[in-house]
Amino acid sequence: MLNRILAFTESVAAFFLLLVAALTFFNVCVRYLFHTQIPDWFDLSKQLQAIAILWGIALATYRGSHICVDILWEHCGSLWRRRIDLFATGVTLLLLAPMAWMIWIMVGNMGSEVTSDLRIPLRYFYSIAAVGAVAAAILAGKRILVLISDRAPGGSARTEGPDG
């Protein structure tokens, strides 16, 4: 079940990143070929990018695969590595949970804000991003439980250095 949730989360992040790339590509083509631009391309690209980032944070947090510098971690034994990972993931959860809550507060207080050209309600974009932020907080909590039980997310412990 968890693998399906992770696969879904990864697909959502990838899909919205693809939409950002496609929207940017097509806008450049339209701009150079027809000397105009896609209505709301900039607002839409910002909203879609925010969604992709928040859903991507959920994956990176759970897998512990984000870009990081492990100067101390690499020189520790497996027990201390796990303790460092627990601390780091705990701090991440303490940041992600209130952020998710605040994004939902923003969704509730949006009123009738819309994009400038096409008048698309921003509430839709913020809601999808908020679900991604909630997923990030939940997966951070799940990672803490996995680290406490001394099992590794995805079947492999992060007990090696970043190079393998």
65/93: higher pLDDT: 93
Cα–Cα distance, 128 to 160 (Å, whole number)? 35
| pLDDT at res. 101 | 96
Query: Which tens digits make up the pLDDT trace of 112-164?
Result: 999 889 999 999 999 999 999 999 999 999 999 998 887 655 444 444 444 33
C-beta separation of 118 from 39 below 8 A: yes
Can you tell me which residue has the tokens 């007990």?
159
pTM above 0.85, yes or no: no
Tens digits of residue pLDDT in 3-46: 898 899 999 999 999 999 999 999 999 999 999 999 999 999 99
End-to-end CA distance of the chain: 27
86, with CB counted inside 10 A (0-12, 13-18, 19+), is middle
CA angle (55 as vertex; 51, 57 as ends), nearest 5: 120
Task: Count the Cβ atoms, other than its own, within 10 Å of residue 23.
Answer: 18
> Where is pLDDT greater, at 90 or 152?
90
